[in-house]
Amino acid sequence: MKTRNLGQRRRAFTLVELLVVIAIIAVLIGLLLPAVQKVREAASRVNCQSKMRQIGIACHTFLDQKGQMPPLFGGLGGSGQNYKGVQTGNVFWHLLPFIDQKPLFEQSHYIDTTNGYDAYGAWAGAGDSRGMETSGQSPNVLQSPVTLYKCPADPSLPAAGTIAASSGRGAGSSYAANSQVFGVPAASGGLVQNAAGYPASAGSPSYAGAPKVPDSFPDGSSMTILFGEKYAQCGTTTSQTPNANSPWSGGGTSWGWHWINQYSDMFPAFARVEGYVVPPGTAANTITNANYPTVNFLTTPTPWASSACNWNQPSSGHSSGMNVCLGDASVRMLAKGMSLTSFWAAVTPNGNDVFGPDW
């Protein structure tokens, strides 16, 4: 039987050997981190695309049942005195029953026995008359976060899903609708208010279009953007001054934002006149389709609470570009740096535009 030499000790690591091991581990971590980051970014991009695809399908289901896609903002259904049965809200509110949010939609049922109103509106529910939660009041429809409207790549949207405002809180959205499709574009490039022959809204101005497939998409539904990405919060009150008619303290997007003013910084839409930089000294009412699309979309504007982020523009948290949902409910990513020509051609449904080679 062999006996152990108690006087023989195991040789320990030297300091140099330990430092070499640590250096090797550091190098391996450095090599793995970019790969892990790419995997996480890809997963985030796929998650966002899946959500946009569902929103696009909901639009087509809405079309099948209602005979048109939802309005940018306006009323549908109902008739008679005091807007009985009329449903008034923006695109995302109208889509609630089609994205498994029927109970939330039903909370929008507004009954006022004093004045005889019996309608559905995005402002209804607990809270103040404008649909915002205020001190001492319960959350309501507009303050209820909707998971489908949240992109994991949006760094500006808090985990709670709501955004602070001077009048309370509202549920944020990482997506916005194309005004040129869901609204009624004016010759000046803005939107027509209360356009004849289009849905009205319950006691409020309407910016409602009535898009149909294929009638409303002469350029092709697969070549026209329905929805794009837009940070839930963007810019600052000093560098990106919100419209005077908006009570919000900063720029951004709320899925349920129901103020009818098309220039509201929180309205979940893009491609309006104020959404594009125009030549210095150009008055808004003289802007035409030919000269106002001078900026397309932002990718990872950092920090979002600064002048680097313009609340008028679509903005994406994906470094490689912006996800969009097209008129046929397909989803694709527009590459970062896409030309203005190609982007604007995809924004207008009937502009007979010529796409660039980067489409």
Does 318 map to a domain? yes
- CA proximity to 271, closest of 212, 349, 193, 336: 349
Does 68 map to a domain? yes
Does 239 map to a domain? yes
Q: Which pLDDT belongs to residue 345?
A: 85
41: region left, alpha or beta (phi > 0 left; psi from -120 to 50 alpha): alpha
Average confidence (pLDDT) over 97-117: 81
339-350 pLDDT, tens digit per residue, is 888 888 898 888
Does 11 map to a domain? no
Average confidence (pLDDT) over 210-234: 90
- Confidence band of 152 (pLDDT split at 50, 70, 90): very high
Q: Which pLDDT belongs to residue 246?
A: 27
**What is the domain range of residue 65?**
17-347
Residue 237 has pLDDT above 60, yes or no: no
Does 139 map to a domain? yes
Instruction: List 103's β-bridge partners, or say none.
Output: none
Mean pLDDT of the residues in the chain:
74
Contact (Cβ atoms closer than 8 angstroms) between residue 323 and residue 175: no
Count how many domains the chain has: 1
The rounded distance, in Å, linking the Cα atoms of 313 and 309 is 8
249 burial (CB, 10 Å; 0-12 / 13-18 / 19+) is: middle
Q: Which pLDDT belongs to residue 285?
A: 41
244 burial (CB, 10 Å; 0-12 / 13-18 / 19+) is: exposed
- Confidence band of 332 (pLDDT split at 50, 70, 90): very high
Instruction: List 252's β-bridge partners, or say none.
Output: 233
31-65 pLDDT, tens digit per residue, is 877 777 777 788 889 999 999 999 999 999 999 99
SS3 state at 147: helix
239-277 pLDDT, tens digit per residue, is 333 332 222 233 456 665 544 344 454 567 776 644 343
Does 195 map to a domain? yes
Q: Which pair of structure tokens corresponds to residue 56? A: 């696009």
Does 3 map to a domain? no
